[in-house]
Amino acid sequence: MTKRGDFSRRVIESLCQIPRGETISYEELAGRAGNPKAARAVGNILSKNKKLVLIPCHRVIKKNGALGGYVGGPAKKRQLLEQEGVRLRDVPACRQAGRSFGAAHQIF
């Protein structure tokens, strides 16, 4: 297996160990998979997840508490987390790299 394939496998294996009702940041998941500086690569790997029922990528959030991306869309990610008992709240819109983003959602 390639180095990239090894990392992808470790990301998915680590992700599958996150219990129902708990969340983890992209950065922390990257660290558990062996490369804490690869948070963006983790997001890219999760964006290719076709087994949403088996691989719980909705449990991965941004380190600032914002939901982050999800193949099924933010409303579905929020719904899945709430069904698992994760409490969410709206946080103010943020600005990043000169672009304005809509309201994010934060775990509390």
For 24-71, write each residue's pLDDT tens digit: 999 999 999 999 999 999 999 999 988 877 899 999 999 988 999 888
pLDDT category at 104 given cuts 50, 70, 90 is very low
pTM equals 0.77
Q: What residues does 89 pair with on adjacent strands?
A: 106
Active site residues: 57
Among positive and negative, which fits the CA dihedral 65, 67, 69, 71?
positive
Whether residue 102 is predicted with pLDDT greater than 90 in this model: the reply is: no
CATH of the domain at 18: 1.10.10.10
* Total number of domains constituting the chain: 1
Q: CA–CA separation, 56 vs 94, rounded Å? A: 26
Q: What is the mean pLDDT of the chain?
A: 81
Range of the domain at 61: 3-107
Q: What are phi and psi of 61, to 5 degrees?
A: -125, 170
